[in-house]
Chains A and B, each alone.
Chain A
Amino acid sequence: MTMITHTSAQPRTGMAALLKGNVLNSRAAGPVLLGLYLSFQMLPIYWLVRMSLMQPGDIMSSSAFLPKAPSFDNYKTIFTDPAWYMSYVNSLSYVVLNVIITLSVALPAAYAFSRYKFIGDKHVFFWLFTNRMAPPAVFLLPFFQLYSAVGLFDTPLAVALAHCLFNVPLAVWILEGFMSGVPREIDETAYLDGYSFPRFFLTVFLPLVRAGIGVTAFFCFMFSWVELLLAKTLTSVEAKPIVVAMTRTVSASGLDWGLLAAAGVLTILPGAAVIYFVRNYIAKGFALGRV
Chain B
Amino acid sequence: MHKTQDNRAWFLILPVVLLVAFSAVIPLMTVVNYSVQDIFGPGQRYLIGLEWFRETLRDPEVHRAFLRQIAFSGIVLAIEIPLGVLVALGLPRVGWKSSLAIVILALPLLIPFNVVGTIWQLYARPEIGFFGRVINDLGIVFNYTADPVSAWVTIVAMDVWHWTPLVALLAFAGLRSIPDAYYQAARIDGASRVAIFRYIELPKMRSVLTIAVLLRFMDSFMIYAEPFVVTGGGPGSSTTFLSIRLVNMAVGQFDLGPAAAFSLLYFLMILLVSYVFYTILQRISAQ
> Which residues of A are at the interface with B, using a C-beta cutoff of 8 A?
1-2, 4, 6, 8, 24-25, 30-31, 33-34, 37-38, 41-45, 47-48, 51, 59-60, 63, 65, 101, 104-106, 108-109, 111-119, 121, 124, 127-128, 130-143, 145-146, 161-162, 164-165, 168-169, 172, 180, 183-184, 222, 225-229, 242-243, 246-247, 250, 257, 260-261, 264, 267-268, 270-272, 274-276, 279-280, 282-284, 286-287, 289-291
> Which residues of B are at the interface with A, using a C-beta cutoff of 8 A?
1-10, 12-13, 15-17, 19-20, 22-24, 26-28, 30-31, 34, 86-87, 89-92, 99, 101-115, 118-120, 122-123, 127-131, 133, 161, 165-166, 169-170, 172-174, 176-177, 179-181, 183-184, 187, 192-194, 207-208, 211, 215, 218, 221-222, 224-225, 229, 242-243, 246-247, 250-251, 256, 259-260, 263-264, 266-267, 270-271, 274
The chain B residue sitting closest to A134, CB to CB, is: B267
Contact in complex: A228, B130 (CB < 8 Å): no
Q: How far is the CA of A16 from the CA of B187 in the complex (A)?
A: 20
Q: A117-B3, A137-B263 are in contact. List 12 more A-B contacts (CB 8 A).
A: A31-B92, A105-B19, A118-B6, A130-B271, A132-B218, A139-B27, A169-B20, A222-B110, A226-B113, A261-B118, A270-B110, A290-B211
Q: How far is the CA of A111 from the CA of B128 in the complex (A)?
A: 53
Contact in complex: A4, B106 (CB < 8 Å): no
Nearest chain B CB to A196 CB, angstrom units: 15
Contact in complex: B1, A115 (CB < 8 Å): yes
Contact in complex: B9, A41 (CB < 8 Å): no
Q: Which residues of chain A are near B106, meaning CB under 8 Å?
A: 275, 282
Q: How far is the CA of A2 from the CA of B6 in the complex (A)?
A: 41
Contact in complex: A279, B250 (CB < 8 Å): no
Q: Which residues of chain B are near A276, meaning CB under 8 Å?
A: 103
The chain A residue sitting closest to B5, CB to CB, is: A117
Contact in complex: B211, A228 (CB < 8 Å): no
- What are 21 residue pairs bridging A and B, where the CB atoms are less than 8 Å apart in the complex? A34-B87, A41-B108, A44-B130, A104-B15, A108-B13, A109-B13, A118-B7, A131-B23, A135-B270, A164-B19, A168-B19, A184-B1, A184-B2, A229-B224, A242-B112, A243-B114, A257-B122, A275-B102, A275-B103, A284-B173, A289-B170
Contact in complex: A146, B4 (CB < 8 Å): no
Knowing A118-B9, A164-B19, A276-B103, the reply to whether A271 touches B123 (Cβ < 8 A) is no
Nearest chain A CB to B283 CB, angstrom units: 19
Nearest chain A CB to B270 CB, angstrom units: 5
The chain A residue sitting closest to B269, CB to CB, is: A135
Q: Which residues of chain A are near B13, meaning CB under 8 Å?
A: 108-109, 112-113, 124
Q: Which residues of chain B are near A183, meaning CB under 8 Å?
A: 1
Contact in complex: B251, A109 (CB < 8 Å): no
CB-contact partner of A48 in B86, B104, B119, B274, under 8 A: B119
Q: How far is the CA of A280 from the CA of B93 in the complex (A)?
A: 12
Nearest chain A CB to B161 CB, angstrom units: 7
Contact in complex: B193, A283 (CB < 8 Å): no
Q: How far is the CA of A289 from the CA of B101 in the complex (A)?
A: 20
Contact in complex: B172, A283 (CB < 8 Å): yes
Q: How far is the CA of A268 from the CA of B131 in the complex (A)?
A: 20
CB-contact partner of A116 in B9, B181, B229, B274, under 8 A: B9
List the count of A-B residue pairs having beta carbons below 8 Å apart. Answer: 289
Knowing A47-B123, A140-B250, the reply to whether A228 touches B225 (Cβ < 8 A) is yes
Output the residue of A101, A105, A119 with the most chain B CB within 10 A. Answer: A105
Contact in complex: A279, B103 (CB < 8 Å): yes
Contact in complex: A105, B15 (CB < 8 Å): yes
Contact in complex: A41, B105 (CB < 8 Å): yes
Q: Which residues of chain B are near A184, meaning CB under 8 Å?
A: 1-2
Contact in complex: B110, A268 (CB < 8 Å): yes
Contact in complex: B107, A279 (CB < 8 Å): no
Q: How far is the CA of A152 from the CA of B173 in the complex (A)?
A: 40
Q: Which residues of chain A are near B193, meaning CB under 8 Å?
A: 24-25
Contact in complex: B3, A135 (CB < 8 Å): no
Contact in complex: B107, A272 (CB < 8 Å): yes
Knowing A105-B16, A128-B20, A138-B266, the reply to whether A275 touches B107 (Cβ < 8 A) is yes
Q: How far is the CA of A287 from the CA of B93 in the complex (A)?
A: 13
Nearest chain B CB to A23 CB, angstrom units: 10
Contact in complex: B91, A34 (CB < 8 Å): yes
Contact in complex: A131, B20 (CB < 8 Å): yes
Contact in complex: B176, A42 (CB < 8 Å): no
Nearest chain B CB to A147 CB, angstrom units: 10
Q: How far is the CA of A289 from the CA of B205 in the complex (A)?
A: 10
Contact in complex: A271, B180 (CB < 8 Å): no
Q: How far is the CA of A159 from the CA of B267 in the complex (A)?
A: 21
CB-contact partner of A143 in B27, B184, B266, under 8 A: B27
Nearest chain A CB to B117 CB, angstrom units: 9
Q: Which residues of chain B are near A271, meaning CB under 8 Å?
A: 107, 109-111
CB-contact partner of A60 in B7, B22, B128, under 8 A: B128
Contact in complex: A44, B170 (CB < 8 Å): no
Q: How far is the CA of A143 from the CA of B22 in the complex (A)?
A: 10
Contact in complex: B170, A112 (CB < 8 Å): no
Knowing A115-B4, A136-B224, A282-B169, the reply to whether A275 touches B110 (Cβ < 8 A) is yes
